[in-house]
Amino acid sequence: MKTLTLVRHGKSSWDYDVSDKDRPLKQRGINDAILVSNAIKKDFAQPDAVFSSPANRALHTCAIFMQELGFDLSKLTVTDALYDFGGSSVIDFIKHLDESYKNIMIFGHNHAFTSISNIFGNKSIDNLSTSGLVSIRFDANRWADIDKGITELIIFPKQLK
């Protein structure tokens, strides 16, 4: 069994003249990441590994989740493969994960994460909102073999307000 949890970065700010990778979170993005991470705190199993896009907004969202959930920071790897908006780079990254990982969590971007949620999950979503989370379980022993899985959890911040 393999479990993939996707978290889209929190709401980012366009108020600064910075590159796309350097855009920070808005206060709403921070608040929503805290809200969603606290909503899963009780029942969420600590992943074997956590991966994040290097974009400031994704990495900050990841840091909030890891802090709120008490995840070991040594499990975090930042990778350019997740700075992807279409999804092909993210899918390739997932398919080549170390087979010792059973449960992973990744932080990244749309439209990639909405597409991946719909490609691999059995519940369709129109848009993975900022700070939104989707967890999919696969009946597979190898990441390379994942196909259609069972969408076990979908959380959008607006559901919690």
Q: What is the pLDDT of residues 23-60, one digit of tens each?
A: 999 999 999 999 999 999 988 889 999 999 999 999 99
pLDDT recorded at residue 43: 87
**Mean pLDDT computed over 61-75:** 95
Q: How many residues can be counted in the chain?
A: 161
Convert the pLDDT of each residue in 92-143 to its tens digit.
999 999 999 999 999 999 999 999 999 999 999 999 999 999 999 999 999 9
Convert the pLDDT of each residue in 2-25 to its tens digit.
999 999 999 999 999 999 999 999
Hey, what's the torsion of the CAs at 108, 62, 37, 11, to 10 degrees? -60
In DSSP terms, which residues pair with 81 in a beta bridge? Answer: none
Full DSSP string of 61-81: HHHHHHHHHT--GGGEEE-GG
pLDDT recorded at residue 161: 85
pTM of the predicted structure, to 2 decimals: 0.96
What is d(CA 113, CA 85) in angstroms, rounded to the nearest whole number? Answer: 8
Q: Domain 2-160 in CATH: superfamily? A: Phosphoglycerate mutase-like (3.40.50.1240)
Average pLDDT, the chain: 96
- Could you tell me the two tokens for 7? 């978290």
